[in-house]
Chains A and B, each alone.
Chain A
Amino acid sequence: DAGVTQSPTHLIKTRGQHVTLRCSPISGHKSVSWYQQVLGQGPQFIFQYYEKEERGRGNFPDRFSARQFPNYSSELNVNALLLGDSALYLCASSLAPYNEQFFGPGTRLTVL
């Protein structure tokens, strides 16, 4: 069975641009969480979605938004990119919000 997949693998953007990252959960998983991992730090929680509704949000500015589609895949959008947004963005899926999370390989975003 396929694990969590994320696209693209790598992305280079310039300041002020917008970016969309995509995540496909494991088949049957209805919950998707997004994390930001800055180099040298642990992942920080951004959002959790379950059954297409936002169930949790971390301490990130409104430039960050996300949504979950009927097939349970998810997109993370970041507007007005800053240099500090450069990070590995991880997606994790689980059957439901309190179940074990399975992580994807991440999308490496570089903002120049």
Chain B
Amino acid sequence: AQSVTQLGSHVSVSEGALVLLRCNYSSSVPPYLFWYVQYPNQGLQLLLKYTTGATLVKGINGFEAEFKKSETSFHLTKPSAHMSDAAEYFCAVRAGGFKTIFGAGTRLFVKA
């Protein structure tokens, strides 16, 4: 069975600082991995995804994530946080089927 663990339910950074949101997954087959962002009272927006090939994936709004099979991790980073990045971020895995499993989410706070 697949599962996703997001380390830290809340992360706070200063504007301009590095953003690092951690995600570890469990899957018995090669996974597809995703990061979504959710703003208040809105649905989820796909930031980036890993399917196959290059392990460093670039997404929208300056975010990127690296698939590390040996560490079963897919951490999300952004070099410089912006106030507009404050939101809830979800890591998700899909492996061997239609079902997408989401982590519990990490709320990112950006301080001025």
Q: Do A and B come from one complex?
A: yes
Q: Which residues of A contact B74 (CB under 8 A)?
A: none
Bound-state CA distance A43–B105 (Å) is 9
Tally of contact residues, A, Cβ under 8 A: 24
Q: Assuming the A-B contacts A41-B105, A43-B90, A100-B49, are A48 and B41 also in contact, with contact meaning beta carbons closer than 8 angstroms in the complex?
A: no
Q: Which residues of A contact B97 (CB under 8 A)?
A: 56
Is B100 close to A, CB under 8 A?
yes
Is B53 close to A, CB under 8 A?
no
Quick check: A105 and B102 within 8 Å, CB to CB? no
Tell me how many residue pairs across A and B have CB atoms closer than 8 Å: 50
Q: Which residues of A contact B103 (CB under 8 A)?
A: 42
Candidates A40, A41, A43, A97; contact of B44 at CB < 8 Å: A43
Tell me the minimal C-beta distance from A37 to chain B in angstroms.
8
Which residue of chain A lies nearest to B42 when distances are taken between CB atoms in the complex?
A105
Q: Which residues of A contact B72 (CB under 8 A)?
A: none
Tell me the minimal C-beta distance from B40 to chain A in angstroms.
11
Tell me the minimal C-beta distance from B91 to chain A in angstroms.
8
Q: Which residues of A contact B100 (CB under 8 A)?
A: 33, 45, 101
**Sample of 27 A–B contacts (CB below 8 Å):** A4-B43, A33-B100, A40-B104, A42-B4, A42-B102, A43-B44, A43-B102, A44-B102, A45-B99, A45-B100, A48-B98, A56-B97, A56-B98, A56-B99, A58-B99, A90-B43, A90-B44, A97-B98, A98-B98, A100-B46, A101-B46, A103-B36, A103-B45, A104-B43, A105-B42, A105-B43, A106-B42
